[in-house]
A and B are shown apart, each in its own frame.
Chain A
Amino acid sequence: MVSEAPVAVTALPANAGNASFLGALRSEFTKIRSVRSTYWTLLTLVVVMIGISAAACGGAAHAAGQPGSHVQIDNPATISLFGLILGQLIIAVLGALTITSEFGTGMIRTSLATMPRRGTFVAAKALVFAVVTLVVSLVACFGAFFLGQALLSGHHLGTSLSQPGVLRAVIGGALFLTACGMLSFGLGLLLRHTAGGISAAVGLLFVLFVLWQIMSDSLPLSWQGDINRWIPFNAGSSIWRTGAQGGGLHVFSPWIGFAVFCGYAAVAIAGGMYLFRKRNA
């Protein structure tokens, strides 16, 4: 390489170089599309969503095909979206990673030394992640839905988007995934650590739900309903459920439940943002 004095840097026009929210959005889009982890997690999400739909709906169709079977399915849309149970964890990984990789790699110092407005930085990052996640999640949910219904329709068990609540459930699945990602993003911002952020998100989304399933039977029925609907997974999943819900327990209506779930994500993000603005980077 050359060791003689380098050429002078060419001057930029005086009006170039304004940091703006739009610029921050473009910057964050470049960041998210230029690392491999984005592609791997999103590809895994789509494969898992469609794969689980195939397994669940294919299994139901197979059972229905047995001689003398009287299989009735009252929530075919929800069955084709069962992949969301695993999908929420996959998107939680990407949500946490989107922000914690800045801290883990030290990139945060370079990011903030070039774009020192922290609120703008986090807002742009969160928005870009949310839009990318929503788009891919819509593909995954519609893919899972159509494949599942195709498998079920052979036995006239399927449903279509024109049935009540079905379109809401499929789009709701994508919204649910996006909110899961945002919750995890918020936890990552709070904890600034990839493993910590992912663990916290998995704990809230999945472990809490499983623990509740185990423990709830020992509680009086009147308490069960009151607590049950506030469990993050139960609140959030109400938006992608159709037909009878909650095993007889009182649950939130789809949009109220989803609003509660978004509330959890908002608390995590607001807490993370509060600390991020105060902390040393």
Chain B
Amino acid sequence: MIEARGLSKRYGDTLAVDNLSFSVAPGKITGFLGPNGAGKTTTMRMILGLDEPTSGQVTVNGKPFTKAAQPMRQVGALLDAKALHGGRSAYNHLLCLAQSNNLPAKRVSEVIGLVGLTEVAKKRAKGFSLGMGQRLGIAAALLGDPEILMFDEPVNGLDPEGILWIRNLMKALAAEGRTVFVSSHLMSEMENTADHLLVIGRGKLIADCTVDEFIAANSQQTVRVRTPQQDQLTKLIASAGGTIRDSGDGGVVVTGLDVSQIGDLAYDNAVRLHELAPIHASLEEAFMDLTASSVQFHAGVPGGADQPVLTGSGV
């Protein structure tokens, strides 16, 4: 169980994490979501005691992590797969970590086998590919048979096979009753793995709910409609409080009314419908809507109305 209360971190003028309070419960995968620069990594660093909070506190099983008697049994973390001495072999890297916590050396070979690095265990880590490095980092996190696993953007840069592997691993670990806390800036990734979501933007918590709740609460339900009696239906929908926009392919997209309301409205007024379908908003869209105001670095839309790519007006 990870619990944060009023957690804040200031770097100079930047408030990287702003009064976060949350708890991460065992037995499920909690996705920690936010755009780049939202404060996800900083929060994880404070959980591990790498950064000292400016104010507030965060505990792991009721105590600050730096006071843990069995640190690796409590938390296995992969924040940055490159955070190792490249001149050391994979085996020795894991061995020195295991020894610091008095974990049996045979555990090292075991986790190396688990992540599929047995053949390169004696090779120096600097020659490892991104995927191999990520597996080595995960092996380190699993060394202590930890209650809590914490991964920061674990699928970044991985190939589809690697992504699937990590996704399955996280599910298996959560199914064993462990706490899995995983950050990502990709909603699509969380949609497939997470049970629970913590969403942050500009250091502030903006959602703490299940994935389904998140979509339901944060996306507008829209319905796709096609009809030969377009003008008539437009008037009906407008008078019922819905709004219509052209979908561009001969149909319209209605917001403000659900499928049954539109179906009933059409039936009552003898309007033929050729298509009536709810559009399920993806997590991605809900996320974009929610964080639109809290993205730290806004990029203009290239060629967009308000920001031409190249200004044609000469001097």
Contacts and interface: CB of A to CB of B under 8 A. Distances in A.
Interface of A: 1-12, 16-20, 22-24, 26-28, 30-31, 34-37, 101-102, 105-118, 278, 280-281
Which of A7, A8, A20, A110 has the most B CB atoms < 10 Å from its CB?
A: A110
Contact of A4 (B50, B83, B102, B168): B168
B27 interface: no
Contacts of A36: 87
Contacts of B87: 35-37
A34 B92 contact: yes
Contacts of B115: 6
Interface in B69-104: 69-73, 75, 77, 79-80, 82-89, 92, 95-97, 99-104
B169 interface: yes
Given A3-B165, A17-B73, A23-B102, A112 B86 contact: no
A9 B99 contact: no
Nearest to B111: A9
Given A9-B176, A30-B95, A105-B86, 4 more contacts: A11-B145, A37-B87, A114-B100, A118-B66
A12 B146 CA distance: 9
Given A3-B164, A30-B92, A34-B92, A19 B80 contact: no
A24 B87 CA distance: 20
Interface string B37-81: 000000001001111100000000000011011111101010110
Contacts of A35: 85, 87-88
B2 to A, nearest CB: 14
Contacts of A116: 48-49, 65-66, 68, 71
B84 A106 contact: yes
Contact of A23 (B101, B145, B161): B101
A247 B114 CA distance: 67
Contacts of A19: 68-72, 100-102
Contact of B69 (A18, A102, A109): A18
Interface in B135-168: 140, 142-145, 161, 164-165, 168
A121 to B, nearest CB: 8
Contact of B144 (A1, A12, A107): A12
A174 to B, nearest CB: 26
Contacts of A30: 92, 95-96, 99
Nearest to A2: B116
B107 A12 contact: yes
B172 interface: yes
B140 to A, nearest CB: 7
A114 B101 contact: yes
B224 interface: no
B123 interface: no
Q: Which 8 A-B pairs have the closest CB atoms?
A: A27-B100, A106-B83, A34-B92, A30-B96, A17-B73, A27-B99, A5-B168, A26-B99
A168 B145 CA distance: 51
B100 A113 contact: no
A30 B102 CA distance: 13
Nearest to B47: A113
B275 interface: no
B126 to A, nearest CB: 9
Given A9-B145, A281-B50, A24 B100 contact: yes
B169 A109 contact: no
A109 B70 contact: no
Nearest to A1: B116
B171 interface: yes
Contacts of A10: 110, 145
Nearest to B82: A106
A110 to B, nearest CB: 5
A16 B102 contact: yes
B168 A9 contact: no
18 contacts: A4-B168, A5-B171, A9-B173, A9-B176, A23-B101, A30-B99, A31-B92, A101-B85, A106-B82, A107-B83, A107-B85, A109-B80, A110-B140, A114-B72, A117-B66, A118-B66, A278-B52, A281-B50
Contacts of B100: 19, 23-24, 26-27, 111, 114-115
Interface string B5-23: 0000000000000000000
A6 B169 contact: yes
B139 to A, nearest CB: 10
Contacts of B86: 105
B9 to A, nearest CB: 9
Contact of B45 (A34, A102, A280): A280
Contacts of B66: 116-118
Which of B50, B51, B66, B164 has the most A CB atoms < 10 Å from its CB?
A: B50
Contacts of A20: 102
A24 B116 CA distance: 27
A17 B68 CA distance: 11
Nearest to A34: B92
Contacts of A31: 85, 88, 92, 96
Given A17-B70, A30-B99, A109-B83, A6 B172 contact: yes
B14 to A, nearest CB: 13
Which of B65, B68, B103 has the most A CB atoms < 10 Å from its CB?
A: B103
